[in-house]
Amino acid sequence: MDSLHSFGSLLDMSLSVVIPAYNEADNIAATIGEISGHLTRLGATFEILVMDDHSSDGTFDAVRALNDPQVRAIRLSRNSGSHIALRAGLRQARGDAVLCISADGQDNPEAIEAMIARWEGGADVVWALRTDRNDEALLNKTMARAFYLLLTAAGAAPTDGVDLSKADFFLMDRRVADAVNACPERNSSLFGLLAWAGFRQEAISYHRRLRASGHSKWSFQAKVRLAKDWVFAFSGLPLQMMTRVGVGMATLGLLYAAVVIAVTLITGEMVPGFPSLMTTVLVLGGVQMIMLGLLGEYVWRTLDESRKRPSYFVEADSAHPPAHSRARG
Ligand code: UDP
């Protein structure tokens, strides 16, 4: 691993660490302590932004109680998922580079040194890829792999040579953060935006640890939602496929009709066609419904974006406490 101390410029640079946190009261202090320990040892100038994604377990107060001037807690007004929390954090980050890392201690901070070294070496985005997914169920691994193959096929994961199916946390240069902040869209995966943004993207590998406590918040539905957001935000392929499948089905239908006519002319007998008719109607009906569903996904996203609602609101910010306190309830 390259030693950070060989890069003198870090002393002139600053780093923002953005941590999305949802019900991580048990983990957050230890995670912050570990990250700031590493960064202090490296001689870095840094700030830590904990984006509390509307936790119900006192995560915000746990961070505020640390009373650390380098640590800022920002509480969002509703739970929107880690990608929105990260994007909210990116807008607040002031560093020359921004590190996005999770609150649960799984993203091993020992990798930060190598990531900073790559950034100082000229990389604009540095992905930390887990060396293996051995701790995960086979179904999860297969789903992750299939998901990224789908994204790649749809042209929605264009980071050459970086296998995003293993990506967990990442560091980006200020200009990439500015590029992402300039994208107003709501319904989209931050990984997708970063991959799409381009610049010089590199990866390092690291050993992922087990969760310190609590459980993963990525339910099956959340994963499917992220996959849909990613594909529909970055690829028109499903729409293009609709036309291709439609043309294919129509061609098959015409061929089938030609065969029926030919058989009738040759044998002089009508082909008994009820089963084949039903099959055709059902298959075509199903395909049309799927196509309409795909169209609906794009129409819904267009409507959602056109409303131009902010994707999050800040409910509380430890850097700007309210002038007066008010009883709730
Ligand atoms: N997270 C969040 N909002 C959510 C769910 C998760 O901010 O609605 C945070 C969570 O606290 C953690 C990070 O996102 O810091 C990664 O979440 P999780 O541990 O559930 O994902 P996994 O580690 O399983 O990929």
pLDDT tens digits for 127-178?
998 887 666 677 777 877 777 777 777 666 656 677 777 788 999 999 999 9
- Binding-site residues, ligand 1, Cβ < 6 A: 20-22, 24, 53, 79, 81-82, 85, 102-104, 106, 216-218
Contact 37, 5 (CB under 8 A): no
Instruction: Name the pLDDT band for 309 (thresholds 50, 70, 90).
Output: confident
Q: Which atom of ligand 1 is nearest to the CA of 51?
A: 7
How crowded is residue 78: how many other Cβ atoms within 10 Å of its Cβ?
10
Q: What separation in angstroms does the CA of 252 have from each of 41, 272, 279?
A: 67, 19, 13
**Distance from the alpha carbon of residue 137 to the mean position of ligand 1, in angstroms:** 18
**Distance from the alpha carbon of residue 218 to the mean position of ligand 1, in angstroms:** 7
Q: What is the mean pLDDT of residues 209-221?
A: 75
pLDDT for 5 beyond 60: no
Q: Looking at residue 8, what is its pLDDT?
A: 46
Tell me the percentage of the chain whose pLDDT exceeds 90.
Answer: 37
**Distance from the alpha carbon of residue 84 to the mean position of ligand 1, in angstroms:** 11
Cα 162 to chain centroid distance, Å, stands at: 15
Q: Looking at residue 48, what is its pLDDT?
A: 96
167 sits in which H/E element: strand 167-173
pTM above the 0.90 mark? no
**Distance from the alpha carbon of residue 101 to the mean position of ligand 1, in angstroms:** 10
pLDDT, the chain, mean: 83
Q: Looking at residue 32, what is its pLDDT?
A: 96
Instruction: Name the pLDDT band for 6 (thresholds 50, 70, 90).
Output: very low
pLDDT tens digits for 184-214?
887 668 888 888 888 999 999 888 887 767 7
Q: Looking at residue 23, what is its pLDDT?
A: 93
3-state helix, strand and coil shares in percent for the chain, rounded to the nearest 5? 50, 15, 35
Q: Which of 56, 82, 99, 136 to mutate to test the pocket of ligand 1 (most atoms within 8 A of CB)?
A: 82
Length of the chain: 329
Kindly report which listed range (46-60, 95-109, 225-239, 305-319) carries the lowest average pLDDT score.
Answer: 225-239
Q: Whose CA is nearest to atom 18 of ligand 1?
A: 216
